[in-house]
Amino acid sequence: MNLLQSYAQALVTPENGWWLFLTLAGILAIAIPVLIGMAMLTWFERKVLGWLHLRHGPMYVGPFGLLQPFADAIKLMTKELFLPGKANTLMFVLAPILVFVPALLAWAVIPLGPDPLFGMNMVIADINLGVLYILAVSSLGVYGILLAGWASNSKYPFLGAVRSGAQMVSYEVSLGLIVLSVILLAGSMNLTAIVNAQQTVWFFIPAFPAFVMFLISILAECNRHPFDLPEAEAELVAGYNTEYSSMGFGMFFLGEYIAMITMSAFTVLLFLGGWLPPLNIAPFTYIPGIFWFAGKVLLVLFFMIWVRGTLPRYRYDQLMRLGWKVFLPLSLGWLVLTAVAVKVWGNLA
């Protein structure tokens, strides 16, 4: 039973209408921290890149530059919104929303661990097809990017949108096969059950090759360096969002960083034990699970930023070859190997 259902049964009855208030409160309790986390992720990325480049990063707006993301948000909201004269206005305005909303919707099924006060699972909807829901919702973002490039009626955004569509579809195939292998190990598509199946051993240990492929695939799925070819400044100016300004650009910006946090949380749930501590002994068990979960998500985000500050950008032919000729056969082979191992020895649940 998830947190919202427990509160609703304990505090209200269906007839008095308070269940709607509690549901909305639960949604805001998840959405607001995610949005704040997204804002602070931009600060964290600029700080880490600054350390990698031997410079300071944000340091003037607020203590340690912590208010820099909010200053950037105010700047974006107060800038003038331009609409290209020959653009499809409705689709042009709708495209950033189609990128931002799916990245946020995925958090409806992501469990954050037991509530420190009541011990109940902190999740909006603990559905049995949680893994399938995240894969389906996260793949919707490509429609917003394709729509943005097409609706701009400009060649550079259109080229960036086509690149992004091909890239995201290519890596979603191997991503789905890797997730299937994890489902076989856990014997369930419920995210809470997958985490509980890692009580003995985190899945990144028996499935280390799949873990490495998954980390690389989420970089391509989020259009992150070294696979940020849809936004390549050298040849595409800025890619699919070239014609956007003000909060139109801001919505793309928000969607990308929320997608980073979402895919990092997905990685933690599938391979790094979710909210489980490294060892089920004191003093590790004294720390609430949500802090372990947040720490692991931050670790994966640091990896994504570290890669950006370290590796050169791939060429487009290298990107597609890696996805179709390397990751696809390897992930398919790993799925078959996992299925045979589960058939012989059983799953790890």
pLDDT of residue 117: 64
pLDDT interval class at 179 (50, 70, 90): very high
> Would you give the DSSP letter of residue 326?
I
pLDDT tens-digit map of 67-81: 998 898 888 888 888
What gap in Å lies between CA 229 and CA 232, rounded to an integer? 5
The Cα angle at residue 81 between residues 78 and 84, in degrees rounded to 5 = 165
Between the ranges 40-54, 147-161, 235-249, where is the mean pLDDT highest? 40-54
pLDDT of residue 106: 87
Tokens 């990092």 -> residue: 264
> Would you give the DSSP letter of residue 120?
-
Q: Calculate mean pLDDT across residues 260-288.
A: 88
For residue 191, pLDDT beyond 70: yes
Tally of CA atoms within 13 A in the half-sphere of 17 that contains its CB: 0
Query: How far, in Å, are 6, 55, 287, 323 from residue 259 at the CA level?
Result: 29, 27, 27, 20
| Token digits of residue 134 | 């995240």
pLDDT interval class at 264 (50, 70, 90): very high
HEC string for 145-209: HHHHHHHCCCHHHHHHHHHHHHHHHHHHHHHHHHHHHHHHHHCCCCHHHHHHCCCCCCCCCCCHH
| Helix, strand, coil distribution of the chain in percent, nearest 5 | 70, 0, 30
For residue 331, pLDDT beyond 80: yes
pLDDT tens-digit map of 85-140: 888 888 888 888 888 888 888 888 888 877 766 656 778 878 888 899 998 888 88
pLDDT interval class at 182 (50, 70, 90): very high
- Cis-peptide, bond into residue 283, ω within 30° of zero: yes
Between the ranges 18-32, 157-171, 329-343, where is the mean pLDDT highest? 329-343
What gap in Å lies between CA 12 and CA 85, rounded to an integer? 53
pLDDT of residue 188: 87
Which residues, at least 6 apart from 271, have a Cβ–Cβ distance to it below 8 Å? Answer: 182, 202, 203, 204, 207, 210, 211, 214
pLDDT tens-digit map of 198-247: 888 899 999 999 999 999 999 988 888 888 877 766 666 677 888 888 88
| Token digits of residue 229 | 């070819």
What gap in Å lies between CA 219 and CA 128, rounded to an integer? 27
Cβ distance 103 to 259 under 8 Å?
Answer: yes
pLDDT tens-digit map of 79-93: 888 888 888 888 888
pTM (2 decimals)? 0.87
Query: How far, in Å, are 3, 149, 341 from residue 91 at the CA level?
Result: 38, 10, 48
